[in-house]
Amino acid sequence: MQMKSLLFRFLLLSTLFSAQRLIGQTGCPNFPTMVQTKHTVNIGTFIKGYLEYRPADYSTTDGHPLIIYFHGVGEVGDGSSSSLCNLLTPLNEFDITLPERIERGTFTPTVTFNGNNYSYIIVSPQYNSYNYPSSYPNGDDVEAAITFFVNLYGNKINRSRIYLSGMSGGANMIVDYAASSLARARNIAAVHPVAMCIQGAPYGTNNIANASLAWWGVHCLADPSECPYSIPQNWVNTINGNVPPPNPLAQLTSVAGCNSHNVWNNAYDPAYTPNGINLYNWLIQFQAAATLPAKISNYNARLDRGKAIIEWTTSNESNTASFILERAGSNQEFETVGQIAAAGISSAEKKYSLVDELPNPGTNFYRLVLLNADGIKEYFEIKKLNVPTNWSGKINIPNPVRGTLDVYVNLEKKERIHIQLFDLNGRLLKELRKEMQPGISENKIDVSSLSHGTYLVRVNGESVSVNKKIVIN
């Protein structure tokens, strides 16, 4: 991912899904009688549950607009009943988030636009950690959430009226989603980043501008130096500086007299109308720029027998002509390495794959491109794949490790390999048994839940026996 976000130090201190479990209407300390329903569910890598608000006419009306709200670092949790209460901050007058406004009844559930009435469904996913740079939610987790809720609600939502809002760490997530590809920017109707704090230069603003994605940021002028007003201002200026500029132009509202980083108290208040309109009436003006010719999932890149294999699944294809696989080195200059015909029109899931027979030694970047029947190209997320150049016998284990342990194995013949991960007390924490084919194969083990420190990796097979210490950070 191109995610370069780093929440300021103060906050750091202070796909689909597995079976969903309804927790029910169990209250929280400040709200014993819940308006929102709690759900425990695994979505993507980090999301473990969500609060759900359904409008009064949910059972009788289809086509509701959907707001997906992402919280800040201070509300992380495991999606359990008590943990979801973290999304409802203590009752005070200066720290009211969107989920808390829903419980208070101080939000706008129904709006009118062009003579039509719309009542929002609002969901608030809870992620379980934000430990940059080793383990943190980003645009991929937003994508997983969108896919989950689209499949969950079906005709109950208006697919062209999906809106993303988030505060602090959640704002970083939705900005990263919108910037990561044109397809993603076109997949939603508007973004509403509140107190965003993505460090470094803006990236992917051409995707946001080319999609004409509606953008309204809110930021406190008194935000600390680690997260100054200049950050969202730079993003808005860069988005609007694209040629041609987006329509509508991205906008940013500065708030004076707020409590440092906290500006969400203003942003979600229906009475907050700096441009003569509140958030809920502003969102409903916008629909997604276009319905994508194909929805893709299970999109990944892997190394197998020395070849780079790119795989993905589509659903509901329309107007598709072909998929193109492009490769680049560190210079980011892409060239075509493969192409495959698309289904054209299909309502069923269809699996695709393209193979790069000779990936370059070192780092390879792969980009999937959809060529539509009308000649327009849609670009999907860039995937990075490493072909090791420094081997210790038949094994290569990059070190240190962040989030995922990669074990590369280079075999001369088919062989069954056993990979184990131990702590320094000899306790087995992770293992993988796999029959591997001749050539270079990449094997990934998720270690994002493990504490930082030193561990031992053991790799055994007929022709290989390696023990290596690694550092997870």
How much of the chain is in helix, strand and coil states, percent to nearest 5? Answer: 20, 40, 40
Please check the confidence at residue 388 and state whether its pLDDT lies above 90: no
Question: How far, in Å, CA of 167 to CA of 169, rounded?
Answer: 6
pLDDT at 433: 92
pLDDT at 259: 66
pTM, to two decimals: 0.62
For residue range 435-450, list pLDDT tens digits in order: 888 888 888 899 988 9
In the CATH scheme, what is the code of domain 9-283?
3.40.50.1820
User: Where does 168-316 show beta strands of DSSP type E?
Assistant: 190-194, 214-220, 251-255, 295-304, 307-315
Contacts of 151 (CB under 8 A, 6+ apart): 16
Please check the confidence at residue 2 and state whether its pLDDT lies above 50: no
Whose CA is closest to 304, among 444, 431, 195, 149? 444
C-alpha radius of gyration, the chain, whole number: 23
Q: Tell how strand 350-356 and strand 307-315 pair up.
A: antiparallel
Joined together, the tokens standing for residue 402 give 């962040």
For residue range 263-322, list pLDDT tens digits in order: 999 999 999 999 899 999 999 999 886 556 777 888 989 888 888 999 999 987 777 899
Whose CA is closest to 467, among 397, 408, 400? 397
CATH class (in words) of the domain with range 295-387:
mainly beta
Q: How confident is the model at residue 10 (pLDDT cuts 50, 70, 90)?
A: very low
For residue range 151-167, list pLDDT tens digits in order: 899 889 988 899 999 99
The ranges assigned to domains in the chain are 9-283, 295-387, 395-472
Whose CA is closest to 9, among 189, 307, 326, 227? 227
For residue range 206-252, list pLDDT tens digits in order: 999 989 999 999 999 989 877 899 999 999 999 999 998 999 999 99
Q: Work out the percent of the chain whose per-residue pLDDT is above 70.
A: 92
Question: How far, in Å, CA of 217 to CA of 202, rounded?
Answer: 14
Residue 320: CB atoms within 10 Å: 22
Question: How far, in Å, CA of 312 to CA of 337, rounded?
Answer: 16
Phi, psi dihedrals of residue 396, rounded to the nearest 5°: -135, 125
Least confident of 54-58, 271-275, 301-305, 418-422: 301-305
Same fold, 295-387 and 395-472: yes
Q: In this structure, which topology does domain 395-472 adopt according to CATH?
A: Immunoglobulin-like (2.60.40)
pLDDT at 20: 55
